[in-house]
């Protein structure tokens, strides 16, 4: 007897349905039923629904939205589309997730720092979604680094080292793996229901009991306005609370790159510089605030001041950098990169971009900077694109800085002069100067907990 994917739905007592009618319903703005959501999630997981039909549904969801009940149903269906871990890691399994941004390298700073304070950080990360590489792309710039690990190896590393950062396995939330890749190339990244369900389904399936979310706001973020960012944070915190997970969300600024380095190997280098004590600045400050929330959520600290003191001690003592070395070695990478950054991929062309006029840096188009990096090869345009780990740029100026003609705006790390010239024009066009002094960009806006938004 022939078997078709919809037969399992009939056996479970659900009515027969088809993807076209589901697309049609959402196109007209109708709420999808729990059964309809389960149908298309299962089709995404087992690939019985073609990509072009899933892409059409994603666009309909992006344009028409989903209510709270639909978003919760989508999240839980995606989490249950594969294995659900209940990991024993010798402590509270804690995870952190950022909604993404330019130069956002907090995971590479946070995971080893929290582990150095006794935390158990089990993190499943993604690849580039939008204009720059994801955490996995950054890690894979380290020679030998493996991000695809069997579940038992992943959990063993978390138990022994205290942290591990790996790719989402094919058995964990497989529906999300399909939809995540499609969102990247169909302009449906910035949809709250799709963001919420993608992030939380992986966290629930991966077994995290405490979760800290870094929701970016600003020109370089998924959510360009503060109101939309807080709405996204509240949606995720509420669904997490309903599912019995301890979730805290921090709304942080992305008016400019968080770190000065943009590009995969370059961002690894900046994380190492921070952990070694050679670099300070916004990336370090935001990382410490998020890390404090992770320690509190794990029950290792009672308040922000106590948690911050623990993290500062892990930095000053070198234990944070030591944990990064341990994690890299445990995942097959070369830990010597922490002492010699030249072991990371190096771009063949490095040259400065010089200011053509003077003033005070008033505005940075973060998305434009991200696209400049993408065009250099640091991000993906199509999901099958191969990322160049060496390329990118290092910004020398931040919002509020005074700039004189001829000052170095950034240093390009490019594969050739043609791509460097294109990046130079894109970067200069992304910066707005003012004749008047300008305030620094805001780093932290709000802390969101169940039923409460605290402005920072």
Out of 26, 42, 96, 97, which one is annotated catalytic? Answer: 97
Out of 120, 127, 131, 202, which one is annotated catalytic? Answer: 202
How many residues in the chain? 456
Out of 62, 123, 138, 183, which one is annotated catalytic? Answer: 183
125 is catalytic: no
Rounded Cα distance between 81 and 168, Å, is: 13
Within 141-296, strands assigned E span 163-167, 210-217, 246-253, 261-262
431 to 153, 164, 263, 363: CA distances (angstroms): 45, 37, 19, 6
303 to 121, 251, 309: CA distances (angstroms): 19, 18, 10
Q: Could you identify the residue written with the tokens 């960009």?
A: 441
Rounded Cα distance between 169 and 165, Å, is: 12
3-class state of residue 73 by DSSP: helix
Decide if 255 contacts 447 (C-beta within 8 A): no
Rounded Cα distance between 337 and 201, Å, is: 33
Within 144-231, strands assigned E span 163-167, 210-217
Decide if 139 contacts 157 (C-beta within 8 A): no
Decide if 270 contacts 260 (C-beta within 8 A): yes
Out of 81, 141, 167, 198, which one is annotated catalytic? Answer: 198
252 is catalytic: no
198 is catalytic: yes
Out of 95, 176, 365, 388, which one is annotated catalytic? Answer: 176
| Sheet of strand 431-434, all strands in order from the earlier edge strand to the far edge | 402-403, 359-364, 431-434
Decide if 408 contacts 366 (C-beta within 8 A): no
Count of alpha carbons within 13 angstroms of residue 236, beta-carbon side = 35
Rounded Cα distance between 396 and 268, Å, is: 17
176 is catalytic: yes
148 is catalytic: no
Decide if 116 contacts 314 (C-beta within 8 A): yes
Point out the residues that are catalytic.
97, 176, 183, 198, 202
């Amino acid at each position: 007897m022939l078997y078709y994917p919809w037969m399992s739905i009939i056996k479970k007592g659900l009515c027969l349905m088809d993807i076209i009618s589901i697309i049609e319903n959402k196109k007209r703005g109708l709420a999808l039923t729990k059964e309809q959501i389960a149908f298309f999630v299962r089709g995404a997981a087992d690939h019985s629904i073609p990509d072009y039909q899933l892409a059409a549904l994603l666009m309909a969801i992006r344009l028409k939205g989903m209510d709270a009940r639909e978003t919760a149903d989508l999240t839980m269906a995606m989490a249950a589309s594969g294995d659900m871990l209940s990991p024993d890691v010798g402590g509270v399994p804690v995870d952190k997730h950022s909604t993404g941004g330019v130069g956002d390298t907090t995971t590479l700073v946070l995971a080893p720092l929290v582990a150095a304070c006794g935390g158990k950080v089990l993190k499943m990360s993604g690849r580039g979604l939008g204009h720059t590489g994801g955490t996995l792309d950054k890690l894979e710039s380290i020679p030998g680094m493996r991000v695809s690990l069997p579940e038992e190896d992943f959990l063993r590393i978390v138990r022994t080292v205290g942290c591990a950062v790996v790719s989402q396995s094919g058995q964990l939330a497989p529906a999300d793996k399909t939809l995540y890749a499609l969102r990247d190339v169909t302009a449906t990244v910035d949809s709250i229901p799709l963001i919420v369900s993608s992030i939380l389904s992986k966290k629930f399936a991966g077994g995290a009991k405490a979760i800290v979310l870094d929701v970016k706001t600003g020109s370089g973020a998924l959510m360009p306005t503060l109101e939309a960012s807080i709405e996204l944070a509240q949606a995720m915190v509420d669904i997490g609370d309903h599912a019995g997970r301890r979730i805290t969300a921090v709304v942080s600024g992305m008016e400019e790159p968080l770190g000065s380095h943009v590009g995969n190997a370059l961002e690894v280098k900046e994380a190492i510089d921070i952990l070694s004590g050679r670099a300070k600045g916004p990336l370090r400050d935001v990382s410490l605030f998020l890390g404090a929330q992770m320690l509190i959520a794990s029950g290792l600290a009672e308040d922000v001041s106590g948690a911050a003191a623990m993290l500062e001690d892990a930095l000053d003592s070198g234990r944070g950098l030591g944990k990064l070395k341990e994690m890299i070695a445990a995942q097959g990478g070369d830990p010597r990169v922490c002492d010699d950054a030249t072991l990371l991929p190096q771009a063949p062309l490095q040259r400065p971009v010089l200011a053509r006029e003077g003033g005070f840096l008033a505005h940075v188009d973060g998305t434009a900077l991200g696209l400049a990096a993408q065009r250099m090869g640091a991000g993906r345009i199509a999901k099958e694109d191969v990322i160049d780990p060496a390329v990118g740029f290092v910004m020398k100026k931040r919002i509020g800085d005074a700039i004189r003609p001829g000052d170095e705006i950034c240093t390009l790390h490019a594969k050739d002069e043609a791509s460097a010239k294109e990046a130079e024009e894109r970067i200069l066009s992304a910066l707005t100067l003012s004749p008047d002094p300008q305030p620094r960009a805001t780093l932290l806006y709000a802390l969101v907990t169940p039923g409460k938004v605290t402005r920072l």
